[in-house]
Amino acid sequence: MILIQRFGKRALFLIEEMGAMFVFLMRTFGWLFRPPVRIFQIIKQMHFVGFKSTFVVILTALFTGMVLALQGYYSLRKFGSEGLLGSAVALSMIRELGPVLASLMVTARAGSAMTAEIGIMRITEQIDALETMAINSLQYLITPKVVASLLSVPLLVALFDVVGIWGGYLVGVKLLGVSGGSYWSSIESAVEWKDVYGGILKSISFGLIISWVCCYKGYYTRMSAEGLGKATTESVVLASVLILVWDYFLTSVLL
């Protein structure tokens, strides 16, 4: 009996949380289009989410591309079609790995910091202080983060794709001796606008997921140091899981 009761309690809690998250998103959207637009806040957030993530994104992209080329080379060599290495690297980069891996890196680097920042503001009652000064906290704190993520993540993903393809070139052509011409021409003949478009669409939606989940978890953190730690962990886990799940559904629709 108690077991079933617990189960029901948990289910109700989850449904409540989902509803609260959705309401939070809708309210943020509502505040997105109301003046004043705080451009400098957006720029500050883009610096944090976008520019400061470039190094880690370039590093992961380089090694992802390199290992893809290495794995692809030894698989393709069995069929004597090393010339297709470029298309294998570029397609997996642009369609899947670029959007997903770059978004996961942004979640780990910037998403956790977002939750912590907003959570500390909640605990130290700075958010309440903003409200008493008649500044809407959603508009002042959350919308710049959402806009910055929506703009930064696609750019980071594009950077990831290009660096990854060059990483594949380094290993495939310079190290393993695939001809450079066939590497690039196989990329150009295999990649279509549809692939690039799908990748951009994915990365925009991932940008929304990251900022939405991480801001929500920070905004409604429990009022203790322990609660904040929990909120940060939960936001990273939930955002990462949502990215991977949403990626599957979006891929099945796009293909």
Partner 1 sequence: MERGKLELVVGLFVLVGVICLGYLAIKLGKLELVGGDYYELQADFSSTSGLKNGASVEIAGVEVGRVKKIGLKEDRAQVVLAIQDGITVYNDAIASIKTRGIIGEKFMELSPGGAGERLKNGETIVDTESGIDLEQVISQFIHGSVK
Q: Which residues bind partner 1 (CB under 8 A)?
A: 40, 43-44, 46-47, 50-51, 54, 81, 90, 94, 151-152, 154-156, 158-159, 161-162, 187-189, 191-193, 195-197, 199-200
Q: Looking at beta carbons only, is 44 or 230 nearer to partner 1?
A: 44
51: left (phi over 0), alpha (psi -120 to 50) or beta: alpha
The answer to whether 69 and 97 are in contact (CB under 8 A) is: no
What is the closest distance, in whole angstroms, from the C-beta atom of residue 184 to partner 1 in the complex? 9
- Of 33 and 193, nearer to partner 1 (C-beta) is 193
Of the pair 72, 119, the CB lying nearest partner 1 is at: 72
- Least distance (Å) between residue 131 CB and partner 1: 27
Q: Compute the least distance from the CB of residue 232 to partner 1, in Å.
A: 25
Q: Write down the least CB distance from residue 41 to partner 1, Å.
A: 11
Residue in 17, 22, 32, 21 with CA at minimum distance from that of residue 142:
32
Q: Which H helix or E strand runs over 92?
A: helix 85-92
Q: Report the residue number, 20 or 43, with the smaller CB distance to partner 1.
A: 43
Give the pair of three-digit tokens for residue 225.
Answer: 């140091």
Q: Which long-range contacts (CB under 8 A, 24 or more apart) does 70-74 make?
A: 70/171, 70/176, 72/168, 72/172, 73/171, 73/172, 73/176, 73/178
Backbone phi, then psi, for 5, in 5-degree steps? -60, -45
The residue among 29 and 197 lying less far from partner 1, judged by its C-beta, is 197
The secondary element (H helix, E strand) that includes residue 157 is helix 143-169
Which stretch of DSSP H or E encloses residue 82? none
Q: How far is the CB of 101 from partner 1 (least distance, A)?
A: 15
Q: At closest approach, how far in Å is the CB of 169 from partner 1?
A: 13
- Whether the CB-CB separation of 206 and 103 falls below 8 Å is answered with yes
Beta carbon nearer to partner 1, 165 or 215: 165
